[in-house]
Structure 1
């Protein structure tokens, strides 16, 4: 048998590009698995219970109790999801695959309080309940507020969320602050991903899918013993798909998919009480991404009327930069300017989203009788090689814009868990070290001068001399990030049904970095900050576009997180809880550039560092099951108050030279509050359904110095704080700041809903027993703001997406073999929708969009043996 498994392991590697692995939750007999969701979803078989590797993993390894409960490791030990006193969404691997949720971006369609935004992998945000990361800006010196963990290893780069899920058993989305056990970077929540572990019983699985747009996805995995004490598992995946946006400038399809993933694991039972796991993974992505499409033009305060034309805004600038007279409205005849629904882009810059991510981890678990000691050591890397079009047009304005980056991290966690009838407790320590090296480059093109400079104030004729053509900036960014913490949590049961759970964590964080932007003109002449005052008109114009800057910020602080949860079991299947937690998001340093003094050109040092966020969180919840656990209903009400909220700013002051892409600073107060309801029903093994609803009211509570909205940006002078958007033509005056207290946080829909279900009938095919099934999943969300300062122009409409699947799956035979064959259609009604808006630089009124996938359809065959 061992030789068979060894051969199978080799075969899986060879077949990796043609066969896929089906990563799904471990099956429980249908009659024993009444529910597949806990605020989540049901898999195709209605069995989302998973084999998870908790601190006290059962020898059976099924991850399910006799009642078919879902087992989670949210508190670093095996527990049923209904008994954990926190709001948690559990999604099994089968449901992930069947609904096409192949990365975190697709996962948001199943968990309504999760929000995912990505203009490219580096500029990706994952938010829960409205919090997590500044929308639309990635800064090496700022941490995310939603922690991503794979097999207990922290992934510091959110770019990992754009990769395909690989050999996943289940995913837990923990909602609300998780600062005690998961650390500082979980002020909004955590995503806890569990992969399938090596087994001593031989098993394998393979899957292949084909679809429109040239979609091909293949996965494969095989697991089994190499000896009586050593087991191995290998999984591989490959995804290819043509682009879904036509680029009329390059005559190429953009936004394709090209992902490869590999994971290998060894499990060594070194002794009866000691298990050691060694895992390594590597994933690679190389796509023509990420093209934007025209969304809208909105008049700003930039420019003045010349012959009835706003000569410094998008329509006129497009005409002039394209070699036509302002006011000819040539931009209207461009097919790429006809709206996002036609899926046409005209960006001329090279597009590339190339990245590799991987690492290795060593986990050892020692059973000491009274408790379990666990050590997790991990090293990870992330290499990012991009190319973007930052002017978002077909014009030669910014010809190159790229920030290649390399990151390495090392983590070490040591924790001890102990269980007794009256008391559970956990003690641990965590160390984290990260190094980031980013080397950016930007170059302006032949149309930059006409686009970015005004001819009305041109004493040296710099406008006609095209002084910006060839202007370039080389940006060198360095970061060393160190964090250390100790933590503890206890669960004390003084009375039957009552549990008191206190927890605390002490963190020390230190960040040191540097930002150095060296600017040269086309002839290679160096520009210096002082030229903002002493330079020639040409040099002043050039520095106004690309700013030379150099500074070396640092930050360090101690912080304390603590929480207290009281839970009480009203009945065996009715659990209530109340939680208060005080935690923080670590402070940061701005490493994208900061505003500079308009007189000296020197960095304004007060913007170099960002203060930590302070988080106060309150939550009440009830988890209940009825009718012999055929119905589950969970409710949660929460309120999260954050002081010193970290948000994206842009300089809007005549005394400052603004950075190109904004910077992060603190907002005094924000708040998110809401209600979540999660319902699922399985009246019989022939039908299951779920519905998950979230109402989220996330607003600025105190933000009196916000940047003006898009409509009020771009003025040549700054005056007052009147932020009423005018109905008349622009006045060329922008407010110094705006009071947006009480307005909506970006990226948050007030209402979101996910729902779905599946029915099946017993049908025998090819002499095999099985079921024919029909399933549907849908999600809907209300409108949301796509800019830090809300405005009508930046508000995106809500949308609804619906997916269907239809097919046949066999019962598992006496040799453990199983086959599924089904067709699927995603975004079945071909809904055109916008995931995120971006604002073109220089306040010209151009809004472009990152749009979601169109209707896709195809078929899948998967086998298990």
Structure 2
């Protein structure tokens, strides 16, 4: 991945823009005018240059995504320090995002992610829908560390801030067609219209489909196929002689796919006793790509709408962003992944969210700027899961087999007030500070049809402050220090199988992040060197554990607070070298150490609730080391240019679930008698990933139209491992696989 520029906390990174940056607002730093290559970011809810933004941020432009032949934001995995983005097929467009070891690896919509994905100012409230298409993106900003001040609760790990292209207000079009391995193809087109001054309209249509990279041995056919369509429009209105602008976007995403599951059951787990011997005890690398399960299908419809209005009153800019999103899903899935009909489900769910943000930004006096505002969020969710457990009847629909399906109705409501300030206290020294007060209400009623559990409701409130200071001894150097607090609201366990766990709320979690670092910007912006060190004190950490229950599904997943939380420490490096006007090298690295403190929760031994001590287990989605190296070389020609891009991303092994490799009786970290867990099950651990991607793009002119032809390859080293793996209470285990080596070509044009 080729990064336009990188900055670390309180130290903006030098960015070499690959395309013209957007115009700076009145709040943008004056340094923008001194560097025509400056990239403008909005990470702090005001437009400012990347080099003067006091947050940990990596900026990725549209040109870089195009050169990489990126399909979705998952192609950023491993490219920014401490960032993982993996896909799981238990939900449509579902992503597992992790920043600095903080993640929420689930698709349950009554709970919230730890890393926020924000699209055009609107937060996506669930993991489902976060895996955004890369074609119509103007810029992506990856904010590392808690963003509780400006982005609110449930951004305890960080934020991926996505800005899509705006209507150009003039006639134009961009279109491309791509074909690749696995009979994968896509066609995408964006059209722009307008009068050039006051009105602009952008329309788009994207289509993607693939046969899938799995092979189902039971039916001797490809598995894991998908087909998706996204279409919509944006209207931009700028009245003449007015400081008012309004932009309204409406779109719809329609997707269907086959949720393939790889069987990871082993001898000793219950399901393995009923499955053919060849389908058990399989490895977690090459065996993943052969499946045996029954046919399954997911259908997903997700319309959304966004309205952003801005009005400038002299030095004060007022902004209002209204967002609405809805999703309707129905997904069948053979979770045991074998040819024997053991655990097949039909999940029916609907989710709706509505949000409103109001804010003001400006300068109180020379050297002192601010952003203040308020935020409201509301969501509703209903869910029904019919389960065919040990049915041995693959032709019987789950909702016919299951007379008492699992049901769930959830509501949430949040509101907040926030403020963020910059104050140049003396020459070369700036103080950044702010805070946010958040209130969250959670309601959950779940259980089984005909026998629901009593509903649970709870309120949670928290103030999350932030303070930082940076010192610039010269225009080429900066040192900094910061402290910030993140907050993730509490709630209820949606997969609880009995009333005791269903009505018991888990509490909010917080993270205190301490950061120091330095940055050098040398040789007339040709060389960036960024260093940062951080310590994250994770308190009341929320973790899922799966235990048996006397219910129709046979197991329940419980969310508990880790009494001692966790400690995460890391060192990050990133930088770029502009060797020449045509050749750029970018590199990054992240070294991270993490461990739990007194992780003791209740589990079942037979029918007795017993303390289980997971303190020795590894945090999930927290690799010890990750790094990247990429190069981008442009050769001018008589007809245009040739761009060669190559990248290498190294990610050390990491675990994907809190689970049990083995346990022995002993004294827990809390001093009680219980079971001491030796670590996570090795089946949920990835292999070392060395991901090599490359592309070659030929840019040329057709009359007055810019055209291009691109060939690309992804995962050229053919690394095979899991992207998501799960063990279920000694019953069975399953996983999903990383896409193996793939390649293809793209043709496109734009004018």
TM-score by length of 1: 0.77
Aligned residue for 2:217? 248
Deviation at 1:438, TM superposition (A): 1.4
Q: Pick the aligned partner of 1:585 from 480, 488, 505.
A: 488
For the pair 1:195 / 2:164, whether they are aligned, the reply is: yes
Say if 2:327 and 2:350, in contact at 8 Å, map to a contact too. yes
CA offsets 1:571-612 (integer angstroms, 9 cap, x no match): 113222211112311111222224x3xxxxxx1158631100
1:135-154 pair list within 5 angstroms = 135=105, 137-154=106-123
What is the CA-CA distance between 1:75 and the residue it aligns to? 0.6
Q: Which residue number in structure 2 is paired with residue 568 of structure 1? A: 471
Rounded to whole Å, the distance in 1 between the matches of 2:720 and 2:120 is 36
Change (3 A) 1:697 1:50: farther
Structure-2 residue corresponding to 1:480? 411
How far 1:621 sits from its partner (Å)? 2.7
- Residue 265 of structure 1 and its aligned partner are, at CA, apart by 1.0
Matched, 1:317 2:248: no
Q: CA deviation at 1:47?
A: 3.9
Query: Does structure 1 residue 394 correspond to structure 2 residue 339?
Result: yes
Deviations 1:313-338 (A, max 9, x none): 72x432xxxxxxxxxxx513x59957
Structure 1 unaligned residues grouped into runs of 5+: 1-23, 26-34, 301-311, 319-329, 450-467, 520-547, 597-602, 708-713, 720-735
Mapped partners of 2:378, 2:635: distance in 1: 54
Q: State the Cα distance separating 1:431 from its structure 2 match.
A: 0.7
**From 642, 647, 665, the counterpart of 2:560:** 665
Cα distance, 1:293 vs structure 2: 2.0
CA 1:510–1:491 in structure 2 vs 1: closer, same or farther (change >3 Å)? same
- With over 3 angstroms needed to count, the CA separation of the structure-2 counterparts of 1:107 and 1:513, relative to structure 1, is same
2:178 to 185, 202, 209: 209
The alpha carbon displacement at 1:78 in A equals 1.4
Partners of 2:268 and 2:51 in 1: how far apart? 52
Higher mean C-alpha deviation, range 373-382 or range 347-356: 347-356
**Where in structure 2 are there 5+ consecutive unaligned residues?**
9-14, 660-678
1:750 counterpart = 2:624: yes
Is the Cα contact below 8 Å between 2:455 and 2:503 reproduced in 1? no
Q: How does 1:72-151 map onto structure 2 within 5 Å?
A: 72-117=41-86, 118-121=88-91, 124-133=95-104, 135=105, 137-151=106-120
Answer with 149-158 or 567-576: which moved more: 567-576
Distance 1:675 1:505 in 2: 28
**Partner secondary structure for residue 74 of structure 2:** helix
Q: Secondary structure at the match of 1:741?
A: coil
**Count of aligned positions:** 713
Call closer, same or farther: CA 1:38–1:588 in 2, change over 3 Å: same
Please report how far the alpha carbon of residue 837 of structure 1 lies from its aligned counterpart in structure 2 after TM superposition: 1.5
Aligned equivalent of 1:14: none
List per-residue Cα deviations over 1:684-728 (Å, max 9, x = no partner): 122111111111223212213376xxxxxx964779xxxxxxxxx
CA distance in 1, matches of 2:627, 2:688: 11
Q: Distance in 2 between matches of 1:660 and 1:448?
A: 21
Structure-2 separation of matches of 1:366 and 1:285 = 37
Task: Please give the secondary structure, in 1, of the residue aligned with 2:65.
Answer: helix
SS at match of 2:238: strand
Q: Whole-Å Cα distance in 2 between the matches of residues 568 and 143 of structure 1?
A: 36
Distance of 1:36 and 1:471 partners within structure 2: 53
Q: 724, 730, 743: which one pairs with 1:843?
A: 730
Task: State the alpha-carbon separation in 2 of the partners of residues 93 and 649 from structure 1.
Answer: 40
Give yes or no for contact 2:265–2:280 (8 Å, CA) kept in 1: no
Matched, 1:773 2:643: yes
**What is the Cα deviation at residue 408 of structure 1?**
1.1
Q: Using the alignment, how far apart are the partners of 2:156 and 2:327 within structure 1?
A: 24
SS in 2 for 1:783: coil
Equivalent residues in 2 for 1:279-294, closer than 5 Å: 279-289=249-259, 291-294=260-263
In structure 2, relative to structure 1, the CA distance for the partners of 1:442 and 1:288 (3 Å cut) is: same
Asked if 1:156 corresponds to 2:158, the answer is: no
Indicate the residue corresponding to 1:856 in structure 2: 742
Report the CA distance shift for 1:741/1:445 in structure 2 as closer, same or farther (over 3 A).
closer
Inter-partner Cα distance in structure 2 for 1:664 and 1:605: 9
2:130 aligns to what SS in structure 1?
Answer: helix
TM-score, normalised on structure 2? 0.88
Post-superposition offset of 1:624: 2.5
Across the aligned residues of Structure 1 and Structure 2, the Cα RMSD in angstroms comes to: 3.0
Per-residue CA deviation, residues 808-827 of structure 1 (Å, 9 max, x unaligned), is 223899x6x42222211111
> Secondary structure of 1:96's partner?
helix
**Which SS does the other structure have where 1:609 is aligned?**
coil
2: distance between equivalents of 1:638 and 1:812? 51
Q: Distance in 2 between matches of 1:478 and 1:138?
A: 15
The answer to whether the aligner puts 1:804 opposite 2:678 as a matched pair is: no
**Counterpart in 2 of 1:404?**
348
Q: Which has the larger radius of gyration?
A: 1
Q: Partners in 2 of 1:435 and 1:496 — Cα distance? A: 50
CA contact (8 A) 1:783 1:795 kept: yes
